[in-house]
Chain A
Amino acid sequence: MKIQLTKFDKILLGFIVAGYLAILVYIFATGYHFPKLGDDVGQRWIYQLPFGNSLLSRVNPMTIFMSWAIMIGLITFAASIKVFTVIPGKKQSLIEMLLDYLLGLTKDAVQKEEFVRPTFNIAATLFLFIFIANVISGIPGIQAVPRNGGVVFTIFEDTWYTPTSDLNTNATFAVMVLIISHAFAIKAKGFGKWLKGFFEPFPIMFPMNLIGELAKPVSHSLRLFGNIMGGGLLVLIISYLTKYFLMPTFLWGFFGIFVGSIQALVFTILAIAYIGSVIE
């Protein structure tokens, strides 16, 4: 399969790469020291950008690395399926089965024919990314751990760092779904009708409808974050009881692979349901 980028995609990707390069140049120019961290549970490696102390001036480097690693892995996998044939090979039938199931879900939830395809694209993208991100949290790999008052990289001592255990990733996805759903609603119903939807069934219900809409991304993102992050913390805490002998394998399997794949599916189904319910 060939990857095709429009001009807009290229410009956007160029901006992102330029931003990363600027940060890298800044780090090399000023010299980087790993931050001093305590040995508490749940500490993270956080990099402070030179923009003061505002909300957008802190970066979680492991999240960025792992997100890009997963994206590149997915793109390589997609590119490795050479041609889609009538009699599918192993990879093709895996992908077809998975995406077919998602397409069925989308067709059930989204009533308007012309919005099935865009909703499916969003849902499938979210599902593939979150599924891979959750499943690698059940497989031993590279992890950045605060130790000896700094950050240490470990291999096969802990599971892979997963971007979905960072609320920034999940909140981004949830807010994205909220904005996309309302953009679709305005496109489908027209601005006036969309605005009128907030005043149903009575005009006095407006604040409640507004709070209900704003609560969607909160519950949407916190559910995934809580499941993955809480799973990781529980593995750490329960493992103290058995001194890292047998328990982590089972717990990683349970929280990483079982809970992770269910939560990836739930996140996707909810995204489809939110988009579908607003469009109607």
Chain B
Amino acid sequence: MKKNPLNFKELGMLNIVFQFGIVVVSNVFVGGLIGYLLMKYAGMGKFWLILFLMLGIFSGLYQGIRYLLKEAEKYEKTDKNGDKGNHSSGNSSTS
């Protein structure tokens, strides 16, 4: 069977790296935002800003790695059914 020149699955693989970066950055951003809001409006000290920023960094790495593991698991699963699965996946997308 001739290979499809534009494969959306491979474009999706490229997206994983991008997505990992975005997950890390957005977690750090949200952690910093919570800390800043606590500092500004709740009158808590600068310690809380640093604490929440650190929490954001940890959370970002944790969520990012969890995301990568989940994606790896997904691709492993599709690879296992993949050899004969070119037909079955084609069928499932058209049916």
Contacts and interface: CB of A to CB of B under 8 A. Distances in A.
A215 B26 contact: yes
A146 to B, nearest CB: 29
Contacts of A208: 55, 58-59, 62-63
A219 interface: yes
Given A104-B93, A212-B62, A207 B55 contact: yes
Interface stretch (B28-36, B41-49, B80-88): B28-36
Contact of B63 (A107, A212, A218): A212
A112 B92 CA distance: 18
Contacts of A222: 26
Interface of chain A, main secondary structure = helix
Contacts of A209: 59
Nearest to B58: A208
A214 interface: yes
Interface string A240-280: 00000000000000000000001000100000000001000
B93 A219 contact: no
A96 to B, nearest CB: 11
A153 interface: no
A142 to B, nearest CB: 33
Contacts, number: 49
A223 B60 CA distance: 17
A266 B58 CA distance: 26
Interface in A122-152: none
A220 to B, nearest CB: 9
A87 interface: no
A56 interface: no
Contact of A223 (B22, B93, B94): B22
B39 interface: no
B79 to A, nearest CB: 15
B38 interface: no
Contacts of A211: 27, 30-31, 34, 55-56, 59
Contacts of A215: 23, 26-27, 29-30, 59-60, 63
7 contacts: A104-B93, A211-B56, A211-B59, A212-B27, A215-B27, A215-B63, A266-B15
Closest 9 interchain pairs by CB?
A: A219-B26, A208-B59, A212-B63, A211-B59, A215-B26, A215-B30, A215-B27, A218-B26, A219-B22
Interface of B: 11, 15, 22-23, 25-27, 29-31, 34, 55-56, 58-60, 62-63, 70, 92-94
